[in-house]
């Protein structure tokens, strides 16, 4: 069975892409077969995996718009990857003209059922048709949450969208939990946000929180996950623990 997890938060800068790659690599370390899908036109996950998005001949855009078989665009890095680049920005307009536009990614991923243990979808920082495709294609949502007030407010908006997705396209969609990111335990504000979010929205808040560190930016610049770039860093250990928690939650 393939578990599909959408990583979503319409607020940018919450370490969503970092979380997708790090948890994916942590699952690979646990012996799992993992495919990551870059559903963001900015191509941040593609870049973080060591590829230049502008050099990719075929991407998720070709899968969604041209219906190219998804296995034709997969490239291998620390995890297998369906890459993205700026071409995907035009896909939103094209998909809006098509029947069944919300199901384009679901149809594509159906061909891979059983080939991977996990498919992790990195949704863009918006609630448009690309994120709707990600949520429609997956069984669970993971919400990376920066421990500050504006990110906190975005969780409520995202959960409203999840409710709409359940109603219209994916009745089985469940919120698996929240990953606290960019956490500074010395900050009273961060501690307050972390303590409040679970009770306010009725969602699981996974532990441990991922600490804020420049190492994550350095790893992305090097085209590697934090687990490969700094294997013993507290952030790498946090993501290993989170990957184990996610497996136990499914």
Query: What is the DSSP secondary structure assignment for residue 212, as one 8-state letter?
Result: P
Q: Is residue 250 part of a domain?
A: no
Per-residue pLDDT at 152 = 66
How many structural domains does the chain have?
1
Whether 14 is covered by a domain: the verdict is: yes
Residue 245 DSSP code:
H
Q: Which residues contact 225 (CB under 8 A, 6 or more apart)?
A: 21, 22, 24, 25, 48, 78, 219
Spatial distance between the Cα atoms of 195 and 68, rounded to a whole number of angstroms: 45
HSE value, Cβ hemisphere, 13 Å, CA-based, for 233: 20
Query: Residue 241 falls within a domain, yes or no?
Result: yes
- Examine residue 237 and state whether it is found in any structural domain, yes or no: yes
Q: Which residues contact residue 135 at a Cβ distance below 8 angstroms, ignoring those fewer than 6 apart?
A: 6, 8, 123, 141, 161, 162, 165, 169, 170, 173
Average pLDDT of adjacent 10-residue blocks, the chain of 250 residues: 95 93 98 98 97 96 95 98 96 86 96 96 93 97 82 79 94 95 76 75 90 95 97 97 97
Instruction: Please give the structure tokens belonging to residue 12.
Output: 């940018």
CATH of the domain at 152: 3.40.50.300
Domain assignment present for 115: yes
C-beta separation of 132 from 102 below 8 A: yes
**Which pLDDT does position 149 carry in this prediction?**
63
- What is residue 96's predicted lDDT score, i.e. its pLDDT? 83
Amino acid 12: pLDDT: 86
Residue 43 lies in a domain: yes
pLDDT given for residue 198 in this prediction: 74
- What is the pLDDT at residue 91? 86
Q: How far apart are CA 141 and CA 159, in angstroms?
A: 10
Q: Report the predicted TM-score, pTM, of the whole model to 2 decimal places.
A: 0.95
What is the domain extent for residue 112? 3-245
- Do residues 39 and 10 lie in contact, with contact meaning Cβ atoms separated by under 8 Å? no
pLDDT score recorded for residue 154: 74
- Domain-located, residue 17: yes
pLDDT of residue 56: 96
Q: How far apart are CA 104 and CA 29, in angstroms?
A: 30
């Amino acid at each position: 069975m393939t578990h599909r997890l959408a990583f979503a938060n319409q607020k940018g800068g919450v370490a969503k892409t970092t979380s997708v790659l790090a948890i994916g690599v942590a699952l690979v370390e646990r012996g799992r077969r993992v495919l990551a899908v870059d559903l963001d036109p900015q191509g941040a996950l593609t870049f973080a995996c060591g590829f230049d998005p502008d050099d990719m001949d075929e991407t998720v855009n070709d899968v969604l718009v041209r219906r190219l078989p998804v296995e034709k665009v997969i490239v291998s890095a620390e995890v297998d990857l369906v890459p993205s680049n700026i071409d995907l920005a035009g896909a939103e307009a094209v998909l809006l003209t098509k029947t069944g536009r919300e199901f384009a990614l679901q149809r594509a991923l159906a061909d891979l059922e059983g080939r991977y243990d996990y498919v992790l979808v990195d949704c863009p920082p918006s609630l448009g048709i690309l994120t709707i495709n990600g949520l429609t294609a997956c069984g669970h949502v993971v919400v990376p949450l920066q421990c500050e007030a504006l990110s906190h407010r975005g969780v409520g908006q995202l959960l409203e969208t999840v409710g709409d997705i359940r109603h219209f396209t994916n009745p089985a969609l469940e919120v698996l939990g929240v990953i606290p990111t960019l956490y500074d335990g010395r900050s009273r504000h961060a501690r307050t946000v972390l303590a409040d979010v679970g009770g306010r929205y009725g969602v699981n808040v996974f532990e441990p929180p991922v600490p804020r560190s420049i190492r994550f930016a350095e790893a992305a610049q090097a085209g590697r996950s934090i687990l490969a770039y700094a294997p013993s860093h507290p952030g790498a250990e946090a993501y290993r623990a989170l990957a184990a928690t996610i497996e136990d939650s499914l």
